[in-house]
């Protein structure tokens, strides 16, 4: 058995969200070498943008921290951030992959002291908060960001100020002239764990996202409820900053819909219940109305549905709203038919949250750069490489971890095979 | 017997686009989208569920299907891609073929009696004649009263050349061909019905 | 390693440390007061030159223990990764410069900051002096084989994957055939595998042949586990089948015993089970479909009209309060059977609360509708047998808002899944040739002091411990539960789950073979040992261990099973005699660290508050606070603990008699939605604290001087305020009279 334990073949894990992190640490702790490649400057992916997990209403940072510690303590894991796999050749057991390392403009010598950010005068829309606020053009995304190294926006790197800011760094880590660079690696297994992105809510025309200020999306709302979000955690109307005490959550905004995403995104019902608790906890006199077709609180999450149902401040309307209008006060008005009573409603709210679904990153720009890759009709990866978590099917954190651990198993079977 | 599927199966086969009714998931978007919803007793999705529940008479005798103005809001929004407008028209037509429709149903009378005869007789819509037939279908007094009520609109339409005042414009070119097409369509329809 | 300890202390003066602190004074403390033989500083210690300096001393100067006095232990871990066990970090940057409320230029405050830095240095020095190199717990007679209990879909999948990874698996199946519930299944739903619209043929036969044909897999049929003793790496398992028990040794265990269906006899009366033979469970229906003919049980006539009542006895507090997650899809599959068999004559109805077809399975929902299955949102109010066979189902139709009567040939009840992680079907007795009372009381029958079963949490009793982030972790090291035994799930999920659990099982045997801990302190080589002569047999350690690692001998002395241990050190905190310790973590070590902190004289009016913080959540939260430059009083001294569970009350007594004015404890959230990575650590600390008043009373001190806070890792922004409140409360009291003693 010792030969298995000592297997030197490397497993490439693409994507450093909860799925990729899990595959990486589980495979590495079983004794295999892992190369973990993340497109963003920091790990954590979508879960790092979440305020809390359902059903425990705990912070994703807690589990991420343990996984980061496991990476920090494990020399078997090599990682690259701001890097993308651009080409895969070969076959299972013997792949050659080309990885493009985008310029961070900050080297790994960075100690995270923050002097550069202080010196920088240019602010840019914050992608971490979906552009709802601005941040310095050189920064790290949040206080728990891992790796801790700062990163500089590529446009800013070209500016004169970038040169000045570079001189502020006490350890000389800032390099505005840094260029993209391709590296080639030999790996024996590839696990694709590139996750998902929120469906573009502007495409759902009848709901007026992008047109009405007080119609937002679940992921934006998640950031709003977070202490490091654009409002420091205060739930307000984007139009006037007033407290949002009467909030609607619309399920299947984009999901289960032939016009948008025909599949069910699985997590939105539960995420909305969780977000209802944010509102209810922040404002005890608040009201939340959840519009739904079917409440999909799968298996043990049923308890969370029952717990949420017990809150008298939350109402439920079985209906897919037809459209949203705006009244003179800037209140979004949700219009539709209650399918249980047959009555039509037109209800004004302070804020409407669209529970937009998951679009696999592999559906578009994040396609697997491998000839043998296979997808289903929706762009989820079904073959050619191993796929974990939401790259394979829309799902929640627990089942992403389940999938990612299973893919670690499939990967070590390949990596452990001796040629 | 409730949920006797023979009616549903009949509709799936015989009513135009009726088979789509199977696919409705009762989300309610159609009802919320319909600008005339206030005038319907049952919304499209309710009608669909009634079809599936075997409520034959309730569906076919309903006035609901005759309310649709073909705005296509429901089609555009239906998450299950149901061609709702067409299904509704199909149901109305099916009800008519089954002789279930209240003969006084105004839309039915307009469509089946006035409009159809008007178009078949010449191959084109004669607006003036159509309007007159519609206004006078309930008697001369009612027709005059209705005409007076609408005279400003009529004059406006005339001025903007939206209404052709000539009551008899004769048949279209190739009227015989048009009649043949209608006959063929009727033949096909019978065939289709027999097949079903 | 018994080599003489030679400590090197390396200061970083970068990141403003050199400007803010008196490095000369710090170095003097290291050299003169703490007698550290090698003391050096560098302006950029984490840079290549700084690291090379340390490496050079390790290689050429005999240094074998290192203190890096720079930033938080969570930063620059790759740079400061040396191949030595005796290593510690003194956090001057984050914990002194970043988070102490000191205005530059305020000399008194700067002096306070310097005092904090000096104290942290002293604490670090004494810690490394007290630290010993762990001697990993290794055994030469260990096994890397994995026992898989259950030969159904989950068990077979796990066994196959274990074999494909190059390990040996032992499958124990209670029945005479492999395959479990899958054997009764006609077709298989696609779940999350394309094409999502189509049923596939039952593949269990292929899987069985694959497993049976693999010489790395040993199979025991008609067999149960009679008992499981030992620990990961060498679990000694007794198998029972007929007469002679068989003893085997395995390294880790996958429990894949699957599910039982909820007893239909217990179902609520309105569902009509028993009212007519034409009311059947979905399992009964599946068997019938597999046999070929879908007919009425009452008279054998074709069953063309079939209704399916979903959530039968599920999502119901009086029965199963959860949803089984798979029944909607399963019932749609069965509706398709009816349609397949009777074509146009078929009428199928699914009576549902919510249709749950997550992910791409929405395609399958559409398929079922497309085939003509009718979905009725409603409740089954009453079921009566019809005189001519079949049943009349009274349905409260939520959408048509009325009660409808549905005459059907068959009513199929979708009953839910009940885990079998701890139950042995008494019918197994005859299969294995044993009397019923000879059956073991639980699936593994663990020979553990804390009982034979896997601990289960929550009302529904799922056998896991952190099901969101770490779903495979149970509270019994080296034992992982897979498939519906762990949580209700469908076919595809079960296979995925089994692969994952199999990986964890392999990971556990590998870790144990190297003497290392598994999650959450993966790789930790330390383990608890105790001084037997001091033991009073109070049994607190054996009771409190969250992982059941400690057995007892007849006299009540603890018997440690190091490979079961997760190194949380709850036992250490539990022990009133302070006799349990780790090579690199002990009661004495923390006590010494506390005593090393200097307490100013009462008239200096500089109170001191000691803070114990859990290293998993509270310390990262503090670090995050520092990174955001949140400020706390410079009178606070922080000592990280592995887990609040290791809290020894003697430390509080130490702190109080030393002259600390207050003690603040920061542990993880506990209760139902606990966050403690060791499940019960912070909860146990709180229980222990309830007894701290005795200590305080003895010292004639106010009880408010000691406070426990539950800290969430994201509390960085609220921490300064919460900590300030405690500091203010302490400031209102008189100084601790024990200062200077």
Q: What average pLDDT score do residues A329-338 get?
A: 96
**What per-residue confidence (pLDDT) applies to C126?**
98
| DSSP symbol at A201 | G
What are C279's strand-pairing partners?
C411
Q: What average pLDDT score do residues A376-390 get?
A: 97
Q: What average pLDDT score do residues A289-309 get?
A: 96
Which domains are assigned to chain A? Answer: 2-102+180-196+359-415 (3.50.50.60), 115-168 (no CATH), 200-356 (3.50.50.60)
B-chain residue closest to A335, CA distance: B32
Say yes or no: C374 contacts chain B, CB-CB below 8 A: yes
B39 CB neighbours in chain A (<8 A) are: none
Residue C445 has pLDDT above 80, yes or no: yes
B42 CB neighbours in chain A (<8 A) are: 342
CA distance B158 to chain C (A): 48
| DSSP symbols for A370-416 | -TT-EE-TTS-EEESSEE-GGGTS---HHHHHHHHHHHHHHHHHHHT
Contact C620 A61 (CB under 8 A): yes
What is the pTM (predicted TM-score) of this model? 0.96
Q: Are C309 and C414 in contact (CB under 8 A)?
A: yes
| Residue A8 binned pLDDT confidence (cut-offs 50, 70, 90) | low
Q: Which of A25, A43, A221, A53 is nearest to C713 (CA)?
A: A53
Using only C-alpha atoms, chain C has a radius of gyration, in whole angstroms, of 32
pLDDT tens digits, A37-80: 999 999 999 999 999 999 999 999 999 999 999 999 999 999 99
Say yes or no: A414 contacts chain C, CB-CB below 8 A: no
Contact B2 C399 (CB under 8 A): no
Contact C372 B80 (CB under 8 A): no
Residue A1 has pLDDT above 60, yes or no: no
**What per-residue confidence (pLDDT) applies to B196?**
58
Residue C59 has pLDDT above 60, yes or no: yes
Weakest mean pLDDT among B122-126, C163-167, C625-629? B122-126
| Residue A11 binned pLDDT confidence (cut-offs 50, 70, 90) | very high
Option in A62, A171, A297 nearest C14 (CB): A171
Distance (Å, rounded) from C-alpha A366 to C-alpha A343?
A: 44
| Residue C491 binned pLDDT confidence (cut-offs 50, 70, 90) | very high
Average pLDDT, chain A: 95
Give the strand order in the sheet containing A332-337.
A323-326, A332-337, A344-348
Contact B32 A319 (CB under 8 A): yes
Q: Are C497 and C504 in contact (CB under 8 A)?
A: no
pLDDT tens digits, A302-317: 999 999 999 999 999 9
Option in B8, B9, B23 nearest C366 (CB): B23
C624 CB neighbours in chain A (<8 A) are: 143-144
| DSSP symbols for C542-588 | HHH-TT--EEE-TTS-EEE-GGG-----HHHHH-TT--EEBTTB-HH
Instruction: List phi, psi (to 5°) of C597.
Output: -75, 130
**What per-residue confidence (pLDDT) applies to B192?**
74
B47 CB neighbours in chain A (<8 A) are: none
Q: CA distances (Å), C734 to each of B87, C426, C611, C727, in order?
A: 84, 67, 19, 13
**What per-residue confidence (pLDDT) applies to B189?**
82
pLDDT tens digits, B147-171: 899 889 888 988 998 888 787 778 8
Which domains are assigned to chain C? Answer: 1-133 (3.40.50), 146-258+420-513 (3.50.50.60), 264-417 (3.50.50.60), 529-581 (3.30.70.20), 585-741 (3.40.50)
Best of C359, C498, C627, C678 to substitute, by most chain A Cβ atoms within 10 angstroms, is C359
Instruction: Report residue A288 CA to chain centroid gap.
Output: 25
ipTM passes above 0.95: yes
Weakest mean pLDDT among C198-207, C300-309, C600-609? C600-609
- Joined together, the tokens standing for residue A216 give 């937002």
Q: What residues of B are in the C interface, CB distance below 8 Å?
A: 1-5, 8-9, 12, 22-23, 25-26, 46, 49-50, 52-53, 80
Instruction: Report residue A272 CA to chain centroid gap.
Output: 16
Say yes or no: C355 contacts chain B, CB-CB below 8 A: yes
**What per-residue confidence (pLDDT) applies to A395?**
97
Distance (Å, rounded) from C-alpha A201 to C-alpha A126?
A: 19
Contact A258 B77 (CB under 8 A): no
**Can you tell me whether residue A182 is helix, strand or coil?**
strand
Q: Which of C221, C255, C267 is nearest to C240 (CA)?
A: C221
- Joined together, the tokens standing for residue C324 give 């089984």
CA distance B14 to chain A (A): 25
CA distance B183 to chain A (A): 38
Option in A252, A293, A321 nearest B32 (CB): A321
Distance (Å, rounded) from C-alpha C300 to C-alpha C302?
A: 6
Q: Which of A9, A4, A148, A130 is nearest to A65 (CA)?
A: A148
Average pLDDT, chain C: 95
Convert C273-296 to b/e letters by CB count within 10 Å (16 or more is b).
Answer: bebbebbbbbbbbbebbeeeebbb
Say yes or no: C359 contacts chain A, CB-CB below 8 A: yes
pLDDT tens digits, C380-391: 999 999 999 999
Which domains are assigned to chain B? Answer: 5-97 (1.10.1060.10), 106-184 (no CATH)
pLDDT tens digits, A210-264: 999 999 999 999 999 999 999 999 999 999 999 999 999 999 999 999 999 999 9
Residue B78 has pLDDT above 90, yes or no: yes
Contact A227 C714 (CB under 8 A): yes
**What per-residue confidence (pLDDT) applies to A316?**
98
Count other Cβ atoms within 10 Å, centred on residue C615: 17
Best of A320, A321, A334 to substitute, by most chain B Cβ atoms within 10 angstroms, is A320
**Can you tell me whether residue C647 is helix, strand or coil?**
coil
**Can you tell me whether residue C466 is helix, strand or coil?**
strand
Q: Are A16 and A79 in contact (CB under 8 A)?
A: yes
B78 CB neighbours in chain A (<8 A) are: 258
Contact B1 C400 (CB under 8 A): no
Contact A320 B43 (CB under 8 A): no
What are C236's strand-pairing partners?
C229, C249
pLDDT tens digits, A260-280: 999 999 999 999 999 999 999
**What per-residue confidence (pLDDT) applies to C673?**
87
Option in A18, A57, A394 nearest C359 (CB): A394
Q: What average pLDDT score do residues C483-488 get?
A: 96
Contact A299 C325 (CB under 8 A): yes
Q: CA distances (Å), C610 to each of C621, C633, C661, C687, C723, in order?
A: 17, 11, 8, 20, 11
Contact C493 A402 (CB under 8 A): yes
- What element of type H or E holds A344? strand A344-348
pLDDT tens digits, C174-189: 999 999 999 999 999 9
Residue C697 has pLDDT above 80, yes or no: yes
| Residue A6 binned pLDDT confidence (cut-offs 50, 70, 90) | very low
Option in C370, C399, C404 nearest B3 (CB): C404
Q: What residues of A are in the B interface, CB distance below 8 Å?
A: 206, 252, 256-259, 293, 318-323, 335-339, 342, 344
Q: Are C703 and C678 in contact (CB under 8 A)?
A: no
């Amino acid at each position: 058995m010792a030969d298995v334990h000592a297997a030197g073949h490397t497993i490439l894990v693409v994507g450093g969200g909860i799925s990729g992190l899990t595959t990486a640490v589980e495979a590495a702790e079983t004794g295999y070498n892992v190369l973990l490649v993340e497109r963003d400057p920091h790990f954590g992916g979508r879960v790092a943008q979440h305020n809390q997990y359902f059903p425990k209403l705990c912070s994703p940072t807690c589990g991420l921290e343990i996984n980061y510690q496991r990476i920090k303590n494990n020399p078997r894991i090599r990682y690259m951030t701001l890097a993308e796999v651009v080409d895969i050749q070969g076959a299972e057991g013997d792949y050659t992959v080309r990885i493009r390392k985008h310029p961070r403009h900050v080297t790994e010598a960075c100690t995270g002291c923050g002097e550069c950010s202080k010196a920088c005068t240019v602010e840019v829309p914050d992608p971490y908060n979906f552009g709802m606020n601005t941040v310095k053009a050189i920064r790290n995304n949040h206080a728990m960001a891992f790796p801790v190294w700062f990163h500089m926006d590529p446009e800013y790197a070209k500016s004169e100020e970038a040169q000045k800011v570079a001189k502020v760094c006490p350890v000389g880590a800032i390099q505005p002239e840094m260029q993209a660079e391709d590296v080639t690696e030999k790996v024996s297994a590839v696990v694709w764990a590139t996750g998902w992105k929120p469906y573009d809510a502007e495409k759902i025309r009848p709901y007026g996202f992008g047109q009405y200020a007080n119609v937002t999306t679940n992921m934006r709302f998640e950031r709003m409820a977070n202490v490091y979000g654009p409002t420091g955690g205060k739930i307000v109307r984007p139009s006037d900053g007033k407290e949002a005490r009467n909030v609607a959550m619309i399920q299947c905004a984009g999901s289960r819909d032939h016009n948008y995403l025909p599949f069910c995104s699985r997590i939105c019902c539960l995420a909305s219940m969780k977000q209802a608790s944010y509102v209810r906890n922040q404002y005890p006199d608040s009201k939340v109305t959840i519009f739904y077709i079917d409440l999909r609180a799968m298996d043990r999450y049923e308890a969370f549905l029952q717990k949420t149902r017990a809150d008298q401040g939350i109402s439920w309307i079985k209906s897919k709203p037809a459209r949203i209008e705006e009244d003179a006060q800037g209140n979004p008005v949700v219009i539709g038919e209650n399918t249980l009573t047959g009555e039509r409603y037109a209800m004004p709210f302070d804020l409407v949250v669209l529970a937009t679904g998951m679009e696999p990153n592999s559906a578009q720009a994040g396609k697997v750069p491998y000839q043998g890759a296979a997808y289903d009709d929706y762009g989820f990866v079904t073959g050619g490489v191993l796929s974990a978590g939401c790259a394979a099917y829309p799902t929640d954190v627990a089942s992403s971890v389940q999938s990612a651990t299973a893919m670690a198993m499939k990967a070590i079977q390949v990596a452990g095979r001796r040629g | 017997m409730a949920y006797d599927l023979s009616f549903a199966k009949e509709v799936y086969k015989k009513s135009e686009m009726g088979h789509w009714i199977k696919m409705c998931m009762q989300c309610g978007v159609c009802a919320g989208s319909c600008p005339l919803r206030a005038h319907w007793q049952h919304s499209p999705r309710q009608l669909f569920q009634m079809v599936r529940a075997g409520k034959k008479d309730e569906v076919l005798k309903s006035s609901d299907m005759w309310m649709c103005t073909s705005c296509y809001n429901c089609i555009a929004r239906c998450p299950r891609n149901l061609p709702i407008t067409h299904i509704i028209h199909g149901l109305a037509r099916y009800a008519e073929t089954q002789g279930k429709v209240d003969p006084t149903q105004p839309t039915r009378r307009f469509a089946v009696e006035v409009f159809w005869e008007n178009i078949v007789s010449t191959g084109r819509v004669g607006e003036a004649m159509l309007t007159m037939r519609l206004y006078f279908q309930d008697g001369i007094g009612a027709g005059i009263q209705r005409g007076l009520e609408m005279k400003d609109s009529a004059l406006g339409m005339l001025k903007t050349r939206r209404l052709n005042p000539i009551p008899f414009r004769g048949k279209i070119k190739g009227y015989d061909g048009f009649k043949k097409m209608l006959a063929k369509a009727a033949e096909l329809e019978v065939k289709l019905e027999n097949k079903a | 390693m018994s080599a003489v300890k030679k400590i090197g202390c390396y200061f970083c003066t970068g990141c403003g440390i050199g400007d803010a602190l008196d490095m000369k004074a710090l170095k003097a403390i290291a050299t003169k007061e703490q007698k550290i033989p090698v003391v050096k500083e560098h302006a950029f210690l984490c840079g290549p030159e700084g690291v090379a300096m340390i490496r050079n001393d390790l290689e050429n100067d005999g240094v074998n223990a290192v203190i890096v006095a720079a930033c938080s232990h969570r930063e620059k871990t790759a740079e400061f990764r040396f191949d030595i066990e005796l290593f510690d970090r003194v956090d001057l940057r984050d914990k002194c410069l970043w988070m102490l409320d000191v205005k530059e230029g305020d000399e008194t405050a700067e002096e306070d900051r310097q005092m904090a830095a000096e104290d942290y240095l002293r604490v670090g020095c004494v810690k490394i002096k007290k630290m010993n190199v762990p001697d990993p717990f290794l055994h030469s007679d260990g096994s890397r084989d994995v026992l898989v209990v259950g030969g159904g879909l989950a068990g077979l999948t796990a066994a196959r994957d274990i074999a494909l990874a190059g390990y040996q698996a032992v499958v124990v199946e209670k029945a005479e055939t492999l395959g479990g519930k899958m054997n009764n299944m006609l077709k298989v739903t696609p779940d999350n595998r394309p094409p999502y619209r189509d049923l596939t043929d039952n593949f269990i036969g292929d899987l069985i042949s694959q497993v049976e044909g693999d010489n790395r897999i040993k199979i025991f049929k008609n067999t149960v586990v009679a008992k499981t003793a030992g620990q990961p790496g060498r679990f000694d398992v007794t198998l029972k089948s007929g007469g002679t028990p068989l003893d085997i040794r395995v390294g880790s265990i996958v429990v894949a015993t699957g599910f039982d269906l909820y007893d239909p006899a217990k179902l609520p009366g309105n569902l009509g089970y028993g009212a007519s033979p034409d009311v059947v469970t979905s399992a009964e229906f599946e068997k019938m479909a597999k046999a070929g003919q879908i007919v009425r049980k009452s008279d054998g006539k074709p069953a063309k009209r079939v209704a399916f009542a979903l959530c039968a006895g599920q999502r119901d507090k009086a029965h199963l309060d959860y949803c089984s997650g798979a029944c909607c899809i399963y019932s749609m599959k069965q509706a398709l059977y009816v349609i397949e068999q009777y074509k146009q004559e078929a009428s199928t109805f699914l009576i549902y609360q919510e249709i749950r077809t997550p992910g791409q399975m929405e395609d399958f929902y559409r398929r079922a509708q497309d085939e003509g299955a009718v979905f009725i949102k409603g409740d089954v109010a009453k079921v009566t047998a019809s005189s001519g066979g079949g049943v009349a189902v009274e349905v409260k139709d939520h959408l048509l808002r009325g009660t409808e009567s549905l005459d059907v040939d068959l009513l199929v009840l979708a009953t839910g899944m009940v885990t079998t992680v701890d139950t042995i079907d008494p019918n197994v007795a005859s299969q294995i040739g044993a009397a019923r009372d000879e059956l073991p009381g639980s699936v593994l029958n663990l020979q553990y002091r804390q009982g034979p079963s896997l601990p289960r949490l929550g009302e529904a009793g799922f056998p896991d411990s952190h099901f969101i982030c770490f779903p495979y972790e149970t509270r019994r090291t080296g034992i992982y539960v897979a498939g519906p035994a762990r949580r209700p799930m469908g076919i595809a999920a079960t296979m995925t789950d089994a692969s994952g659990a199999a990986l964890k099982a392999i990971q556990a045997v590998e870790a144990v073979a190297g003497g290392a801990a598994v999650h959450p302190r993966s790789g930790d080589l330390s383990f608890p040992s105790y001084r037997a002569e001091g033991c009073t047999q109070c049994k607190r350690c054996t009771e409190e261990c969250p992982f059941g690692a400690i057995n007892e001998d007849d006299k009540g002395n603890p018997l440690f099973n190091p490979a079961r241990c997760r190194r949380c050190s709850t036992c250490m905190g539990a022990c009133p005699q302070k006799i349990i310790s780790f090579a690199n973590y002990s009661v004495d070590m923390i006590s010494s660290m506390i005593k090393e902190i200097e307490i100013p004289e009462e008239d200096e009016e500089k109170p001191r508050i000691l803070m114990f913080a859990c290293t998993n959540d509270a310390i990262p939260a503090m670090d995050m606070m520092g990174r955001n430059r949140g400020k706390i009083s410079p009178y606070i001294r922080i000592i990280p603990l592995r887990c609040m569970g290791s809290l020894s009350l003697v430390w509080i007594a130490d702190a109080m008699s030393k002259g600390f004015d207050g003690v603040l404890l920061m542990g993880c959230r506990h209760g139902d939605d606990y966050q403690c990575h060791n499940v019960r650590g912070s909860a146990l600390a709180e229980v222990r604290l309830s007894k701290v008043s005795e200590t305080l009373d003895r010292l004639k001190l106010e009880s408010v001087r000691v406070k426990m806070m539950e800290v969430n890792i994201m509390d960085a922004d609220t921490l300064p305020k919460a900590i300030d409140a405690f500091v203010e409360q302490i400031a209102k009291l008189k100084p601790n009279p024990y200062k200077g003693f």
